[in-house]
A and B are shown apart, each in its own frame.
Chain A
Amino acid sequence: MPLIEARSLAKSFGPRRVLEDVSFEVGAGEVFGLLGPNGAGKTTTMRLFLGLLRPATGEALVFGAPLAERADLRRRIGVLLEQSGMADRLTARENLAFFGALHGVAREEIDDRLGQAGLLERADDRVGTFSTGMKRRLGLVRATMHDPEALFLDEPSSGLDPAAQAEIRDLITNLARRSGAAVLINSHHLDEVQRIGDRVAILDGGRLAALGEVDALRRGAGPRRYAIRLASAADGLRAGAVLRGAGAESIKSEEDELIVSLPPGLAPSALLAALVGAGIGVEEARYRTRSLEEVYLAAMGRAGA
């Protein structure tokens, strides 16, 4: 059974439809990225899962049930939204003690987690004095200190320096892989989702524009692409002609590489053999996958894949 599941989810605010027929599921141990531009419906989707909004039609299920009326199920989730969820007037320890009391986390455990996040020295300082990055780290401690089975993260690394972003990526990956938690991430950080996400959904105007495994989406549904770097850039024109002669399609030059579409049945080795046979040196050759950014832009209809 998926731990997080959207079934034909739709939501309207008055006459405005903000989400339309969105379906996906997140299983145990899976990191799922929800991508899309501002206003695409990412935050609304997350609020629907958390039981903060009611769906117009469809269902937003966590552990097989809507969370709105199930305080017992909410005990098993972790949440880090756009704001850290901490009272500025209280200290880090007091804030965590409050949420720890709701989730049954012992005080010693809270100190351990603060220590792991490098915040123990500031445990008795008011959260209002913390930098954005520190608040984010503290928010992540709050969201994960009870080892949740499902984790909902809205822009988890926003405002963090690269080192802290890497730490958070490790933490999320560990939670998913070691504890088997299902992780749903709303993010604009395509690079981050590409690194840690198993699957993604791309929302555009409240509709699913793409859904699938990150690797599959990056490979794309069209012909496989192959990148060839020549030993000498001066051979570029001649190499194009040789590759076309060998059966390659759609040869494009990107930076210092030739990107070749392989029609079904044509092996890259045949292309390389043709080039070498024509006396053209090849420095490097490999399959070329799209970046998640390219997938995203293609799904948005803003660039060719």
Chain B
Amino acid sequence: MNPVLAVARRELLVLSRARSVVLGGALVGLAVGGMPIFGALVSGEGLAGVYLQAPVLGVFLGYLFSQQAFLREKLDGTIETVLASPLTLSSLWAGKVAGCAGVAALIALACTGGAIAAAVLAANAAVPVSGQLVVHLFVFVPLVAAVAVGAIGLVQLLLGLRENQLLNLGLVIGLIALLSVGQVVVGSVPSLEVELAAIAGLVAVLIVLSRLAGRVDRERIVRTIG
């Protein structure tokens, strides 16, 4: 099995055992993402809000699920064994990003989809679903969640797997601020060209983060173990 997939699978298994965190994330998703989208649809404002709500939700859930994903290796006493295995640091990073961002994106999409379905069923609201919206939900949202998880993971690796909530929150708030500013600049519903350019930008950021993760000094991590 590809090592990135092996790490991602392990991350999904661990997350599946942390049901309270996942259910808590789903509830936050419904409250912060689903309900505003439902309200906007029912009041006839359309789906414009989804373009900001869904990625913000993805970023927030990514933050929620990745907080412990990297630190856990040190808390569980597994980090030295993992580092001595055939895994590279960039594979470890990528696997954790895939696992955490995958779950975050899935819940963000489920909340968004659930809100849209509820609006259709409850108020017979008109839902003008476009190809661009599908790309936004199924490509942009997972990628932006991956960037959030990846940035948090990289910072934790650079800190030698020491916890710094302020820095994690700073990263998440910074990403959400970027999304908000971006929407102000390009309009509430971006053009397809802008959407594709943003996707390319996110992929580039992920590649850079992956390279940086691969260059983190193992000693920086191990020396914090004692």
Contact = CB atoms under 8 A, between A and B. Distances in A.
Interface of A: 13, 47, 50-54, 67-68, 71-72, 74-75, 77, 79, 81-90, 94, 98-99, 101-103, 126, 142, 152
Contacts, number: 90
A26 B223 CA distance: 26
A282 to B, nearest CB: 55
A156 B223 CA distance: 22
A47 B5 CA distance: 27
B6 interface: yes
Give me the 5 closest cross-chain CB pairs, A-B, nearest first: A85-B81, A83-B77, A101-B6, A101-B1, A75-B86
B218 A51 contact: yes
B87 interface: yes
A67 B83 CA distance: 10
Given A67-B84, A82-B77, A89-B17, 6 more contacts: A47-B80, A52-B219, A74-B86, A77-B84, A102-B85, A103-B85
B3 interface: yes
A85 B82 contact: yes
Contacts of B13: 89-90, 94
B160 to A, nearest CB: 12
B10 interface: yes
B215 to A, nearest CB: 11
Nearest to A78: B84
B132 interface: no
B10 A102 contact: no
B223 A13 contact: yes
B188 interface: no
Given A87-B10, A90-B10, A72 B218 contact: no
A82 B14 CA distance: 23
Interface in B2-38: 3, 5-7, 9-10, 13-14, 17-18
Contacts of A74: 84-86
Contact of B218 (A68, A71, A81, A84): A68
B18 A89 contact: yes
A158 B219 CA distance: 26
B84 A79 contact: yes
A89 B222 CA distance: 22
A299 B72 CA distance: 40
A52 B78 contact: no
Interface in B201-226: 217-219, 222-223
A87 B78 contact: yes
30 contacts: A50-B83, A51-B83, A52-B222, A53-B219, A53-B222, A53-B223, A68-B218, A72-B86, A75-B86, A79-B81, A79-B84, A79-B85, A82-B77, A83-B78, A83-B81, A84-B77, A84-B81, A86-B78, A87-B10, A87-B72, A87-B76, A88-B76, A89-B14, A89-B17, A89-B18, A98-B7, A98-B10, A101-B3, A102-B86, A103-B86
Nearest to A71: B86
A148 to B, nearest CB: 11
Contacts of B3: 101-102
B75 to A, nearest CB: 9
A300 B96 CA distance: 46
Contacts of A51: 83-84, 218
A101 B13 CA distance: 15
A181 to B, nearest CB: 16
Contacts of B87: 71, 102
A74 to B, nearest CB: 5
Among B84, B85, B87, B88, chain A packs the most CB atoms within 10 A around the CB of B84
A127 B200 CA distance: 42
Contacts of A152: 84
Given A13-B223, A53-B219, A53-B222, A81 B18 contact: no
A68 B77 CA distance: 19
Nearest to A127: B76
B14 A90 contact: yes
B85 A99 contact: yes
A73 to B, nearest CB: 9
Contacts of B78: 83, 85-87
Interface string B86-123: 11100000000000000000000000000000000000
A239 to B, nearest CB: 55
A77 B84 CA distance: 9
Contacts of A99: 85
A103 B81 CA distance: 13
Nearest to A13: B223
B36 to A, nearest CB: 34
Contacts of B88: 71
Contacts of A82: 77
Contacts of B10: 87, 90, 94, 98
A21 B23 CA distance: 55
